[in-house]
Amino acid sequence: MKKLSEEEAVQVTKCCLPPLDDYLEYVKDIFSSHILTNNAKYEIRLETELKNLLNVPCLALCANGTLALQLALRLLKVNGKKIVTTPFTYVATLSSILWEGGEAVFADIEPDSLCIDPERVEECLRKDSEIAAILPVHVYGNACDVNALGYLANKYNVKLIYDGAHAFGCRLNGDSIFRFGDASTASFHATKLFHTVEGGAIATPDIADMHALKLLRAFGHIGDNYECVGINAKMSELHAAMGLALLPHISEIIEKRAKLVKCYDELLHLDEGSLLRRPRLRDGLEWNFSYYPVIFANSEMLEKVVSALVSQKMYPRRYFYPSLTKLPYVNSPPCPVAEDISSRVLCLPLWAEMDTSVVEKVASIVLNAMKI
Ligand SMILES: *Cc1c(COP(=O)(O)O)cnc(C)c1O
């Protein structure tokens, strides 16, 4: 494994790439076929492989994870409606709702898991009968309380769409995390655990959804049959090829990340009584080690750690800061838990090919900065 030179900047992550020759095999074939997109061979192959891997009846690839959310809202006919969601997520969860003409109602998060709190969700549902859906996020790959949320969706007769952008490969009580709710979405952006450079997918429990999803992502028509208003959210053959080349390496990638996470945990002494903690993983979760978030005692300590790391050309990211309730174009009552956690959570650098010497360096800078 290549040692990182002292001068090389360390980002929060580094995109994983398949062996170049594996990718080029696909590219050569794509070049000789002259077929570059439009529900073609490699897109269909990746779709089938992911459907099997994630163990879902229906899976449609699309151009990115944001469009996946937008198509899921349209598929379930909750675009333009009020939707309960979490303020502790990447902004794309929110913007997909707003871009589709809807309104976001924020429910605060659980302080230990950092996923949406079902009790707060129920408060929103009880107060507002116009709410049409719940859009929770398996944040950092941690599982939402799917039982409580499923119960609420049923009780209040609203749709349930999970943003699974961080949760590729996660399992809950032995079951793929993409099997819960009316739909789940994935992001295959280059920085995500598994990626197609840009890409995403929608998974649903009903194979019959595939027809509607194909229409929605390709202008609303199949051949000369124009059925509905659609958009262009297709995945190209070159993108699908990246996914196909990377997919055989995914368990190895997860194993490598698991080792690095263990190494961080040990070096940072993340035990009881530590000034640092990680989100508590849901019982029964097989996690994918997709991020390494640590929660500091206060934001001053976080800021000290960030400056110490940045001075050594190490760039952690404040995923997710600020709480979405604080965005200038949002007008929401406060969500105190999300706002507090957002101010003091930091994702430390983590990628599969990272050398343990980098983990050691990051951990020692973090610990030293906390002492000052
Ligand atoms: C990355 C991400 C998205 C958006 O995915 P893109 O593929 O980048 O459009 C949506 N939700 C969450 C929580 C994300 O982290």
Record the tokens describing residue 356, joined without a space. Answer: 């343990």
Atom of ligand 1 nearest to the CA of 187: 7
Residue identifier of the C-alpha nearest atom 10 of ligand 1:
92
Residue 1 CA to ligand 1 centre (angstroms): 30
pLDDT for res 269 = 87
Average pLDDT over residues 281-305: 97
pLDDT more than 90, % of the chain: 94
Q: Whose CA is nearest to atom 2 of ligand 1?
A: 165
More confident residue, 312 or 6: 312
Average pLDDT, the chain: 96
Q: Find the 364 Cα to ligand 1 centroid distance in Å.
A: 31
Judge if the upstream peptide bond of residue 322 is cis by omega within 30 degrees of 0.
Answer: yes
Q: Please indicate, yes or no, whether the overall pTM of this predicted structure exceeds 0.85.
A: yes
Nearest CA to ligand 1 atom 7: 65
Which residues of 6-158 form beta strands (DSSP E)? 10-11, 58-62, 82-85, 103-106, 131-135
Tell me, rounded to whole angstroms, the distance of Cα 128 from its chain centroid. 28
Residue 5 has pLDDT above 60, yes or no: no
CA of 371 to the centre of ligand 1 (A): 35
Over residues 50-100, the pLDDT tens digits come to 999 999 999 999 999 999 999 999 999 999 999 999 999 999 999 999 999
The pocket around ligand 1, CB under 6 angstroms, is made up of: 64-66, 89-90, 92-93, 137, 163, 165-166, 187, 189, 200
d(CA 372, CA 5): 27
Q: Which atom of ligand 1 is nearest to the CA of 66?
A: 9
